[in-house]
Amino acid sequence: MNTFKAYCEAFVEYLQIEKNASPYTVKYYVKDLENFFDFLNAEGVAGLEQVDTKVVRVYLTNLHDHKLSRRTVSRKISSLRSFYKFLEREDYVKTNPFLQIKLPKASKPIPGFLFQEELKKLFEVSDLTDPLGQRDQAILETFYATGLRVSECQGLRLKDIDFSVGTMFIKGKGNKERYIPFGRFAEIALETYIHDGRNRLLQKCRDTPDYVFLNAKGKPLTARGMRLVLNKMVERAALTVHVHPHKLRHTFATHLLNEGADLRGVQELLGHENLSATQIYTHVTKDRLRSVYMNSHPRASGHNSVQRGDHRGE
């Protein structure tokens, strides 16, 4: 069983070097592996090569007994499938016992988003004469204009923004690169902050970081710091909704689709590898389209005499 640790370390190295996995992703892989190793120890399974479909079924029963969500179970199976695929490639094991295991279908919640009225209040709360107020406005405009993930926004550097053509160069998950356009409002907010507020914040720090968004001490703002910025803006706007970076990403996608944007185009802007990840937003837009149809189409309901066919005598 001492080899478990060695296998885990080799797998982590593979994730970091070959897969460019984020620390967050690696953390959950390791957590899932440690959980599986504990199970094997408890069941008296001496080595990873002894794991077969029978052992896997007992493990799945164990997960079910702990009343884990389908999403969590699915993630654990996926983690172990990838782990055994790596072991098989390295000739540590002969077969992958998780290969034939079907992932439980997790129900996908419809993503929450902000309405225009709520956004309007957020855009009006920052003091644009203050360096931090300029920064907060630029963060909000950037999230809404681009649909960036919080890690992408936090990692944004000055050289990544091309004001001449209005685009940002983004390195997303797995170091996948994409260009995202941004509009006039984001341009004004970013230029104001970069040429004024950011320079004032830099005076408080000996270093000269090239990250776009800085904290009150002139150092790079963390992802946690960005979440706190949004929380404070919500408080000042006296909103009762919970706002986080991913909700602004949802809002970006939903508003684009509501205005007729192509699903493939939104997929590229969001940096989704698979279209299925983007299609979840169509649930929201379908509800809106149905509402528009029911309220606008002459024959959608029975409230209008024309809709009821009161021209029978013609």
Rounded distance, CA 86 to CA 93, Å? 9
- What CATH fold (topology level) applies to the domain 3-89? DNA polymerase; domain 1 (1.10.150)
Catalytic one of 81, 173, 200, 219: 173
156 by DSSP, 3-state: which? Answer: coil
* Helix extents (H) in 238-281: 245-258, 263-270, 275-279
Report phi then psi at 177, rounded to 5.
-100, 145
Residue written as tokens 């909103």? 239
Active site residue 200: no
Strands across the sheet containing 177-181: 161-162, 167-171, 177-181
pLDDT of residue 187: 97
Active site residue 249: yes
Rounded distance, CA 68 to CA 145, Å? 37
β 177-181/161-162 pair status: unpaired
pLDDT of residue 302: 53
Per-residue pLDDT of the chain (314 residues; tens, 9 = 90+): 457 888 899 999 999 999 888 888 899 999 999 999 999 999 999 888 899 989 999 999 999 888 888 888 888 999 999 999 999 999 989 999 998 888 766 556 666 788 888 999 999 999 999 999 999 999 999 999 999 999 999 999 999 999 999 999 998 877 789 999 999 999 999 999 999 999 999 999 888 889 999 999 999 999 999 999 999 999 999 988 888 898 998 899 888 888 888 888 888 898 887 787 777 777 665 565 666 667 766 766 654 444 434 444 44
Catalytic one of 19, 244, 246, 247: 246
pLDDT of residue 313: 44
Active site residue 64: no
Cβ-based neighbour number of residue 29 at 10 Å: 22
Q: Does domain 116-292 have CATH number 1.10.443.10?
A: yes
Among 236, 247, 117, 140, CA closest to 188: 140
Cβ(180)–Cβ(170) below 8 Å = yes
pLDDT of residue 101: 83
168 by DSSP, 3-state: which? Answer: strand
Catalytic one of 7, 29, 193, 281: 281
* Helix extents (H) in 147-221: 150-154, 184-192, 198-202
Active site residue 246: yes
Rounded distance, CA 159 to CA 174, Å? 20
pLDDT of residue 272: 84
Active site residue 149: yes
Rounded distance, CA 26 to CA 88, Å? 19
Residue written as tokens 């509009």? 183
What is the residue extent of each domain of the chain?
A: 3-89, 116-292
Continuous segment of H or E residues that includes residue 135: helix 131-146
Catalytic one of 75, 76, 135, 149: 149
